[in-house]
Amino acid sequence: SVDRLPEIQDSRLRLPVLAEEQVIMEAVRENSFVVLCGETGSGKTTQVPQFLYEAGYASGTGIIGVTEPRRVAAVSMSHRVAKEMNLSTRVVSYQIRYEGNVTSDTKIKFMTDGVLLKEIQKDFLLQRYSVIIIDEAHERSVYTDILIGLLSRIVPLRNKKGLPMKLIVMSATLRVEDFTENRKLFPTPPPVIKVEARQFPVSVHFNKRTPLEDYTGEVFHKTCKIHRMLPPGGILVFLTGQAEVHSVCRRLRRAFPFRRGNTATGEGEEAATDSSDEMKKFKKAKHKRTVSLPRIDLDNYSALPVDEGDEDRLAGIDDEGSDLELGDDTADTEEKADPSLPLYVLPLYSLLAPEQQAKVFRPPPHGARLCVVATNVAETSLTIPGIKYVVDCGRVKKRFYDRVTGISSFKVSWTSQASANQRAGRSGRTEPGHCYRLYSSAVFGDFSLFSEAEITRRPVEDLVLQMKDLNIDKVVNFPFPTTPSAEALVAAEQLLVSLGALEEPPRTGRVKEMERARLSCPISPLGRAMASFPVSPRYAKMLALGKQQDCLPYVIAVVAAMTVREIFEDLDRPAGSEDESSKLAQRRARLAQMRRLWAGQGASLLLGDLMVLLGAVGACEFAGCTLKFCEENGLRYKAMLEIRRLRGQLTNAVNSVCPEVGVFVDCKMAPPTESQVVCLRQIVLAGLGDHLARRVQQEELLDPKWRNGYKTPLLDEPVYIHPSSALFKTLPQFVVYQEILETTKMYMRGVSAVEPE
């Protein structure tokens, strides 16, 4: 009943998962829960929904739901599957936090895991779905874990009600014991189906030395060498974040300029790589520019990992020594621009616009080599065709939380062995590949074997509130694939009780009982209202209180701005040239001036950084939220757009909780009056009350490090107001802060002043 195009049909037949269609569908027929493991690129995400569709799982009232931990994957996979099935996006659709194209005709729905969790709050039995696929379960994202726990209960309930439902958990690795061997989760272990992928051998080349400082420079040079010296085939580069991705893209584009006019076809729409042509070009280039290039023995492929040293010599592009042999560049200069070797460089990261992301799936323009510079998204979520070389910096950027204090910091750290192997595997999909690890094998040996489940690494108050809203009072008893620490659960319940989202536990004399009671407080009516807002509990509390004094529009704007990261452009970056440095200085001065303006006068000054946020949002909206306004005033355009969408969404959410307030988004919002500022400060204090800091008194200054420092209840060390804060000069007695982020010092962010009682 599906009418696929012949070329699609051909490429489908080459996917390993297709050979297992019968096995998979039989397992699904006979079991409520099925686990499917298969290497990235084997066809799980694109094909399994189609199998289910063709087997009739969407022909009744129920539809097929697929969850992804990343927005990128939800959007691009829905497009891909629609195209493969020759169906409109009205039928194969997606839904992510702010947007989607779901219609009443939708039969296959891709969504982020957070979206499905919200749907469970509306309809616990998920009656719209006949089957749910939890994709990328190996990533162990918090929502994935919770969804699997919830579905382990929902599916039997549905079966009991005579509305059968299936759960398929898909993973790119075989490490699924946390799901299959967890008796609390699944009393009888679900069947595990393995898809054998056609993985070509990948030679892994370790660096002799591990660059600790400038690894992006190392990545750049390695990529240049691969491009200059090795046979055709796409290059996939793994870095840790968007800024690094852009800087390496820029440098590569400068080194190997690619001009559209020079290539036979346009944007690579139907361009196929003519490998004989490429090979000629490669040989010519090689002949021209290399002195004594060690030969690469193409028959010598080994399983990973390889002993360092031998492989280095084979490939000849691994260690610093080979630089001398090549003699045409040194490690600390930029490469000379070489237009004779065009490189088609594309960035890839989560926040990139979908049209830009889609480019990586198309063949590169004729005569150019594809080079994708990516963050972790390319590790398992997206498979890029034609990759033969992987350059792995070995690092990943993650947010780290202190379990006790909640203080967080973004840190670049070593990835796990499992992730590094996933990355390497990306090079062996269509032919034997090479993976260049920019660290030594000894360092690899010190990597942890697997990445930890996210739920064990972050505060869980938002999850606990959502679970309580689902009437799961005893969160400790929930069938988590991996249970969060008891400390984290207790801290979450305490915070929620103090915010009034949960009822106070009954007071009893005995400590043990109190502990237990604390972990099973039921949700309050306020908590229910808070749970319906798509922001974390502290901010939800502010929204719930916003009705007073017509403050809601301001509270919504401030909360939206507080929950979007980094609304100000980062102007602290080092400048490349003198010219750039003076421009940066100008922009810094401009932003500082605007911040002062936004901070307001008189009473509003006490609202501090939150008033700056409010002023920035107000001014930006007043100007129509244009790119021009943002660029002129040091605001990040993308962040401002996100704030705008979030304001709309929060406004809707508030209206549906209390329709009588009839709040709307006003793009010509006047600044708050003095009494509204007072009210706003109370609301902020109610939300951030546990984030209180007191300025250190003169007489306490035993140690100079406490100068201008603040004392918080949980920390022995001082925290500070950042120089960019509106309150840096004022240094009020008491402040509340949004969060503490550790950079060079422990800095409070989002600070506003509190009057002592």
Angle subtended at Cα 255 by Cα 249 and Cα 257, rounded to the nearest 5 degrees:
85
Task: Write out the E strands in 184-332.
Answer: 192-195, 202-206, 234-238
Residue nearest Mg ion, CB atom distance: 45
In whole angstroms, give the CA distance from residue 386 to residue 232. 10
Contact flag: residue 46 with ligand ADP (CB under 6 A): yes
In whole angstroms, give the CA distance from residue 534 to residue 524. 18
From the CB of 76, what's the least distance to ligand ADP, in Å? 6
Of 98, 200, 301, 361, the one binding ligand ADP (CB under 6 A) is 361
In whole angstroms, give the CA distance from residue 76 to residue 469. 32
From the CB of 41, what's the least distance to ligand ADP, in Å? 5
Contact flag: residue 44 with ligand ADP (CB under 6 A): yes
Local structure of residue 363 (DSSP, 8 states)? P
Q: Per-residue x/- marks for ligand ADP, 694-733, CB under 6 A?
A: ----------------------------------------
CA neighbor of 740 nearest in space, from 720, 756, 723, 725: 720
Contact flag: residue 182 with Mg ion (CB under 5 A): no
Among Mg ion, ligand ADP, none, residue 80 binds (CB under 5-8 Å by kind): ligand ADP
From the CB of 133, what's the least distance to Mg ion, in Å? 10
Complex with ligand ADP: residue 13 or 291, whichever CB lies closer = 13
Residues 6+ apart with CB under 8 A from 293: 229, 286, 316, 325, 326
Among ligand ADP, Mg ion, none, residue 415 binds (CB under 5-8 Å by kind): none
In whole angstroms, give the CA distance from residue 162 to residue 156. 10
From the CB of 199, what's the least distance to ligand ADP, in Å? 12
Q: Judged by CB under 5 A, how many residues of this single chain contact Mg ion?
A: 2
In whole angstroms, give the CA distance from residue 452 to residue 139. 9
Q: Where are the alpha helices (DSSP H) in 316-460?
A: 321-326, 354-358, 377-380, 417-425, 441-446
Inter-helix orientation angle 674-688/608-622, to 10°: 120
Instruction: For the segment 383-412, give every residue that binds ligand ADP (CB under 6 A).
Output: 383, 385
Instruction: For the segment 365-384, give every residue that binds ligand ADP (CB under 6 A).
Output: 383
Among ligand ADP, Mg ion, none, residue 342 binds (CB under 5-8 Å by kind): none
Q: Per-residue x/- marks for ligand ADP, 63-82, CB under 6 A?
A: -------------x---x--
> Which amino acid, residue 519?
L
* Range in contact with ligand ADP (rule: CB under 6 A) among 38-46, 400-408, 641-649, 749-757: 38-46
In whole angstroms, give the CA distance from residue 405 to residue 402. 6
In whole angstroms, give the CA distance from residue 514 to residue 493. 12
Contact flag: residue 216 with ligand ADP (CB under 6 A): no
Among Mg ion, ligand ADP, none, residue 50 binds (CB under 5-8 Å by kind): none
Q: Where are the alpha helices (DSSP H) in 137-240?
A: 142-160, 177-180, 215-229
Contact flag: residue 40 with ligand ADP (CB under 6 A): yes
Contact flag: residue 15 with ligand ADP (CB under 6 A): yes
Q: Judged by CB under 6 A, how many residues of this single chain contact ligand ADP?
A: 15
From the CB of 350, what's the least distance to Mg ion, in Å? 15
Q: What tokens does 47 get?
A: 């094909």
CA neighbor of 432 nearest in space, from 465, 474, 387, 395: 387
Q: Residue 477 CB: number of other CB atoms within 10 A?
A: 12
Angle subtended at Cα 295 by Cα 290 and Cα 296, rounded to the nearest 5 degrees:
120
* Range in contact with ligand ADP (rule: CB under 6 A) among 40-48, 225-233, 347-355, 699-707: 40-48
Instruction: For the segment 27-46, give every residue that binds Mg ion (CB under 5 A).
Output: 44-45
Q: Per-residue x/- marks for Mg ion, 45-84, CB under 5 A?
A: x---------------------------------------
Of 45, 106, 171, 483, the one binding ligand ADP (CB under 6 A) is 45
Angle subtended at Cα 286 by Cα 285 and Cα 292, rounded to the nearest 5 degrees:
150
Among Mg ion, ligand ADP, none, residue 383 binds (CB under 5-8 Å by kind): ligand ADP
From the CB of 701, what's the least distance to ligand ADP, in Å? 58
Catalog residues that contact Mg ion under the rule CB under 5 A.
Answer: 44-45
- The residues binding ligand ADP (CB under 6 A) are 15, 38, 40-47, 76, 80, 361, 383, 385
